[in-house]
């Protein structure tokens, strides 16, 4: 029975390496003829003899130069897990597993087939493993991203006083980097110094480890001690700077790299784009990145993907899509990262049709993982195809928090506030814990609904989850915006004061909250505080404060701020700024000054400007100036029936019935009818209110 099993096993292994003229059956026939008693060791000896047949009868040259150890040769020929298990079983049955070389080969093969735990069990059976056996084991830990196991195995090797080479040291450093294990990484650095003469790969690993652990100064010191720096070394340091929010230093180092005539790779490219984006130099970032990209002569997936990601993340959606559809790259198949970035670009450019095609391509290429499907949901939602987004979301089997966040954000963005609330309840029922993105989205929904009660419960939930306003600027800004829009300026200010980090949106939301409540003095005080923090005001900030001054009658302060815009900050006032100032002057009865401002505007005033002026004219019964405003509005929109009706009403209020009749006859003659809805003038206040709403966050 044992002989039959071995013959069958040999047939399965040798068969792929023999041609049509000399097949495995002939080998086994030769074995049967020459071996009357088929024992295991003798069979292997005869196997070695048979595989020494003329080379023209075999397809693989490695069989000609077969190892002196036939067992080792048998393992070398193993190509499937099932064959490996059969050979292993036979070795155990026949007591042939004591050889360390055979055991190490078994460890390597089980690692090759992904059975790392089984490989470790076999490794532990080796009585005195040497450095070569250990390198085989740690290599498979590395290939399977088992970083904790790498650290543990490294300690095992140190306990056995094995001298580690640069390959093992690089692997352990990589594990420390991925785990952000600064303590173990620093100990390893000391051991490397004791060994002496580390190569560039080990030193680069140290740079990467210190950078990822947040010790960027130490990483820089190690980097400066490296004599022969290759592109990997330079890139590791640049990436480290970017990861530690040192964008300026990253760009300076990139310039040094180019001065040293070192060409960047795809990873350098991506880091440069990110650094420039953080410094606000997006156009320069894309230009520099594209220069590097065009210098790369090899057409590869990494470079292509890095450039597309850079374009998409920097807001250059059209460039990302053009690069993706470039025929030059037709033979490069995108991965999930590429596809997700392209879908993001489709969302930015409002191109759902191309997004649908990318979705089909992802499915065809087998790249329809959760990241890609989440990007598809987000794309449909941002392109206002919420039904398609919901359909895809409901069809997803493996939903994660990002999936739920994508559809929640889609509901919020498209005005489906109540659907977002119901979906959140489903999310909790399915045992998904909300993350900061979930909370920010729902707080925005509560703000739009004015639901301070549910918003306050979310505030409490964020505290329980450890997502504090003091630590997360997005959570803090969303909470501040909620309280401000719901009229709770006190709670909004409490959140504002709690926040350790504030961005422009934060300042704008708080100033807007005060402005909405008519607290113009607080608006101006907070504006001055913002300037003391060296935060440059934006046009939305100015609109917010001007609106607050208009509502509270602070004419002098509002006018001074308007002049400050153009003089101190070199802002060119936009239409909405002029609307606010005209409204400010008209509300306070300064109609001549308002008209003078309109006449001196460097841009053509629109109906919202004249509408604000007209509102003041009606309030203070200055019909002469009101007629002027209406005429100007009719010049801009001669076919707006609502404007004619407004003129008619103005004439009627003054008892001019003959003019009223003439206007109505003119309307009939022109064939104009007042449409249900609003005219240019009917909603001028709505336009102003909309601008204020944007200002208030």
pLDDT in tens, 140-177: 898 888 899 999 999 999 998 888 889 999 999 999 99
- A 10 A CB-CB count for 486 gives 21
pLDDT of the residue at 75: 74
In this structure, are residues 684 and 612 in contact, taking their beta carbons and an 8 Å threshold? yes
Is the pLDDT at 286 greater than 80? The verdict is no
Helix, strand or coil, per DSSP, at residue 48: helix
pLDDT in the model for residue 684: 40
Report the chain's mean pLDDT, rounded to a whole number.
79
State the pLDDT at residue 227. 85
What pLDDT, on a 0 to 100 scale, did the predictor assign at position 640? 67
Q: Which residue has the tokens 């580690």?
A: 164
Other Cβ atoms closer than 10 A to 432: 17
Between these two residues, 683 and 694, which has the higher pLDDT value?
694
Does residue 181 sit in helix, strand or coil?
coil
Which pair of tokens denotes residue 72? 């080792």
CA distances from 352 to 255, 264, 345, 380 (A): 39, 35, 10, 6
What residue segments make up the domains of the chain, in order of their start?
1-97
Indicate the pLDDT class of residue 563, thresholds 50, 70 and 90.
Answer: confident
Q: Are 543 and 578 in contact (CB under 8 A)?
A: no
Taking the C-alpha atoms of residue 44 and residue 41, their distance in angstroms, rounded to an integer, is 5
Is a pLDDT exceeding 70 seen at residue 266? no
pLDDT class for 348, splitting at 50, 70, 90?
very high
> 39-53, 251-265, 508-522 — which is least confidently predicted?
39-53
d(CA 13, CA 154): 36
Query: What pLDDT sits at residue 56?
Result: 37
Concatenate the DSSP letters of all residues of 340-391 into one string: HHHHHHHHHHT-HHHHHHHHHHHHHTT---HHHHHHHHHHHHHTT-HHHHHH
Q: How far is CA 600 from the centre of its chain?
A: 47
- Say yes or no to pLDDT of 25 above 70: no
Contacts 24+ apart (CB under 8 A), 456-465: 461/434, 462/436, 465/433, 465/434, 465/439
Place of tokens 């004249």: 610
Two tokens at 147?
Answer: 């970083």
Residue 672: strand, helix, or coil: coil
pLDDT surpassing 80 at residue 570: no
Burial class (CB in 10 A: 0-12, 13-18, 19+), 261: exposed
Cα–Cα distance between 310 and 327 in angstroms, integer?
A: 20
Q: How confident is the model at residue 243 (pLDDT cuts 50, 70, 90)?
A: confident
Looking at residue 85, its pLDDT comes to 83
Express each pLDDT in 611-622 by its tens digit: 888 888 888 888
CA Rg value for the chain? 37
Our CA dihedral for 278, 280, 283, 284, rounded to 10 degrees, sits at -70
Place of tokens 């306990």: 159
Question: What mean pLDDT comes out for the span 447-454?
Answer: 92
Does the pLDDT at position 588 exceed 60? Answer: yes
> Which residues face 58 on adjacent strands?
18
- Contact by Cβ (8 Å): 393, 380: no
- Phi and psi at residue 334, to the nearest 5°: -70, 150
The two structure tokens encoding residue 224: 């400066």
Whole-structure pTM value: 0.57
User: What tokens does 275 get?
Assistant: 């650094």
For residues 427-437, average pLDDT? 90
pLDDT at 478 (0 to 100) = 93
Please check whether residue 466 is in contact with residue 433, taking contact to mean a CB–CB distance below 8 angstroms. Answer: no
Cβ neighbours of residue 483 closer than 8 Å, sequence gap 6 or more: 452, 455, 489, 491, 492, 495, 513
Tokens coding 463: 């505290």
Estimate the crossing angle of helix 607-619 against helix 684-695, to 10 degrees.
110
- Which has the higher per-residue pLDDT, 559 or 630? 559
pLDDT at 483 over 90: yes
pLDDT at residue 46 greater than cutoff 60: no
Give the residue-averaged pLDDT of 349-363.
93
Distance CA 222, CA 233 (A): 11
d(CA 642, CA 655): 20
Sign of CA dihedral 560, 563, 569, 574: positive
Q: 3-class DSSP state for residue 58? A: strand
In angstroms, the CA 588 to CA 84 distance is: 91
List, for residues 66-123, the tens digit of each pLDDT value: 344 566 677 777 777 777 787 788 777 767 667 777 788 888 888 888 788 888 888 8
Percentage of the chain with pLDDT > 90?
29
DSSP bridge pairs for 307 = none
Confidence bin at 663 (pLDDT 50/70/90): low
Q: What is the pLDDT of residue 379?
A: 95
Interval 392-405: pLDDT, tens:
999 998 888 999 99
Backbone angles phi, psi at 366, to 5 degrees: 70, 25
DSSP character for 393?
A: H
Q: If we measure between CA atoms, which residue out of 37, 63, 35 comes closest to residue 48?
A: 63
Residue 239 above 70 pLDDT? yes
Mean pLDDT to the nearest integer, 440-460: 93
* Residue 2 pLDDT: 43
Q: What CA–CA distance (Å, rounded) separates 360 from 609? A: 49
Give residue-wise pLDDT tens across range 302-328: 778 877 887 887 788 898 898 898 887
Task: Give the residue from 328, 324, 294 showing the smallest Cα distance to 308.
Answer: 324
Q: What are phi and psi of 18, to 5 degrees?
A: -115, 155
pLDDT the model gives residue 42 = 42
Residue 6 has pLDDT above 60, yes or no: no
Structure tokens at 422: 């119901």
């Amino acid at each position: 029975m044992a002989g039959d099993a071995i013959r069958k096993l040999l047939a399965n292994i040798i068969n792929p390496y023999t041609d049509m003229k000399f097949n495995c059956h002939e080998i086994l026939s030769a074995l049967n003829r020459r071996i009357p008693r088929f024992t295991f060791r003798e069979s292997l000896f005869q196997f070695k003899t048979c595989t020494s047949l003329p080379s023209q009868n075999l397809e693989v040259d490695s069989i000609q130069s077969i190892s002196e150890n036939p067992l080792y040769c048998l393992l070398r020929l193993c190509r499937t897990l099932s064959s490996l298990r059969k050979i292993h079983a036979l070795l155990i049955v026949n007591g042939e597993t004591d050889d360390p070389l055979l055991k190490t080969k078994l460890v390597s093969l089980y690692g090759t087939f992904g059975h790392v735990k089984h490989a470790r069990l076999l490794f532990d059976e080796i009585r005195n493993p040497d450095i070569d056996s250990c390198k085989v084991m740690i290599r498979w830990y590395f290939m399977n991203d088992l970083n904790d196991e790498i650290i543990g195995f490294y300690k095992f090797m140190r306990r056995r006083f094995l001298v580690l080479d640069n390959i093992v040291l690089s692997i352990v450093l990589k594990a420390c980097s991925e785990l952000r294990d600064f303590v173990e990484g620093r100990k390893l650095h000391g051991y490397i110094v004791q060994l002496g003469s580390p190569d560039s790969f080990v030193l680069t690993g140290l740079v990467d480890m210190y950078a990822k652990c947040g010790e960027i100064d130490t990483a820089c010191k190690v980097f400066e001690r490296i004599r022969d720096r290759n592109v990997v070394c330079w890139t590791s340091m640049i990436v480290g700077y970017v990861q530690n929010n040192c964008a300026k230093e990253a760009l300076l180092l990139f310039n040094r790299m180019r001065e040293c005539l070192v060409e960047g790779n795809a990873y350098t490219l991506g880091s440069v784009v990110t650094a420039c984006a953080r410094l606000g130099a997006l156009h320069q970032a894309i230009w520099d990145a594209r220069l590097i990209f065009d210098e790369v002569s090899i057409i590869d997936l990494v470079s292509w993907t890095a450039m597309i990601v850079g374009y998409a993340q920097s807001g250059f959606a059209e460039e990302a899509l053009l690069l993706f559809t470039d025929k030059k790259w037709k033979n490069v198949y995108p991965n999930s990262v590429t596809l997700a970035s392209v879908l993001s670009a489709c969302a930015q450019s409002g191109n759902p049709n191309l997004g649908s095609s990318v979705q089909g391509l992802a499915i065809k290429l087998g790249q329809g993982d959760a990241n890609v499907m989440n990007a598809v949901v987000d794309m449909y939602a941002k392109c206002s195809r919420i039904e398609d987004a919901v359909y895809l979301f409901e069809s997803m089997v493996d939903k994660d928090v990002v999936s739920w966040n994508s559809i929640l954000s889609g509901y919020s963005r498209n005005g489906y506030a109540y659907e977002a609330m119901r979906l959140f309840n489903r999310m909790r029922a399915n045992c998904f814990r909300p993350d900061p993105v979930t909370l920010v989205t729902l707080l925005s929904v509560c703000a739009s609904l004015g639901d301070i009660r549910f918003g306050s419960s979310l505030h409490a939930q964020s505290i329980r989850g450890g997502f504090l306003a003091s630590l997360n600027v997005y959570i803090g800004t969303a909470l501040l915006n909620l309280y401000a829009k719901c009229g709770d300026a006190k709670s909004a200010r409490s959140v504002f004061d709690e926040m350790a980090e504030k961005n422009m949106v934060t300042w704008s939301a708080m100033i807007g909250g005060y402005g909405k409540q008519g607290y113009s003095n607080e608006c101006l005080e907070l504006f001055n505080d913002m300037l003391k923090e060296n935060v440059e005001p934006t046009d939305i900030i100015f609109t917010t404060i001007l609106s607050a001054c208009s509502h509270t009658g602070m004419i002098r302060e509002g006018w001074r701020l308007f002049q400050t815009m153009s003089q101190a900050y070199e802002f060119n006032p936009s239409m909405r700024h002029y609307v606010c100032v005209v409204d400010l002057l008209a509300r306070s009865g300064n109609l001549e000054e308002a008209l003078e401002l309109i006449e001196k505007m460097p841009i053509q005033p629109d109906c919202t400007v004249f509408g604000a002026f007209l509102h003041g004219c009606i309030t203070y019964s200055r019909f002469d100036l009101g007629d002027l405003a209406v005429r100007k509005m009719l010049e801009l929109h001669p076919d707006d029936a609502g404007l004619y009706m407004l003129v008619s009403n103005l004439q009627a209020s003054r008892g001019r019935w003959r003019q009223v009749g003439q206007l109505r006859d003119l309307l009939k003659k022109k064939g104009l009818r007042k449409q249900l809805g609003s005219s240019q003038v009917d909603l001028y206040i709505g336009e102003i209110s909309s601008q204020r709403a944007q200002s208030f966050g």
